[in-house]
A = this chain, B = another copy of it.
Amino acid sequence: MNKVILVGRLAQDPEVRYTQSGKAVASFNLAVNRFGGQNNADFIPIVAWEKLAESAGNNIGKGSKVLVDGRLQIRSYEANDGSKRRVAEVVAQSIEYLDRKQQASENGGDLTVDSFGKDVFPDEEIPF
């Protein structure tokens, strides 16, 4: 069990890059207000992959309010001076767009993007 749920606003536009194998990766910091908190936020690094990444790149930007559901991961990397560093980041499993800043979409509904197939089974099928 490794679950993180955050509501906040993007501190900057998502940066979308591509791995050597061609997978899209988006990253941005999420400003999550602390309780009591006008000018008191945690800026939490978020990473999203593939269609989640592409959707973020196309649909949200600096200031957008989102709900991120994901897992907390510690990633190792080599710093410029050759030293080994560790950074914590949240790998998004789904992102729910809580407002629609720019394009006031005519259908109104909220958009949720998810990194896996769905497991929704109709009520009627249950054999009891």
Contact of A35 among B17, B35, B47, B118 (CB under 8 A): B118
Nearest CB on B from A31, distance (A): 10
Q: Which of A76-90 contact B (CB under 8 A)?
A: 76-77, 87-90
Q: Are B35 and A4 in contact (CB under 8 A)?
A: no
Cα separation A27 to B126 with both chains bound (whole Å) = 10
State whether the Cβ of A93 lies closer than 8 Å to any Cβ in chain B. Answer: yes
- Report how many residues on chain A are interfacial, defined by Cβ distance under 8 Å: 61
Grouping DSSP codes into helix (H, G, I), strand (E, B) and loop, the A interface class, with mixed when no group exceeds half, is strand
A88 to B43, CA, bound (A): 10
Contact present for B23 and A125 (CB under 8 Å): yes
Q: Are B72 and A23 in contact (CB under 8 A)?
A: no
List residues of A whose CB falls within 8 A of some B CB. 1-8, 15, 17-21, 23, 25, 27, 32-36, 38, 42-44, 47, 49, 65, 67, 69, 72-77, 87-91, 93, 96, 98, 109-110, 112, 114-121, 123, 125-128
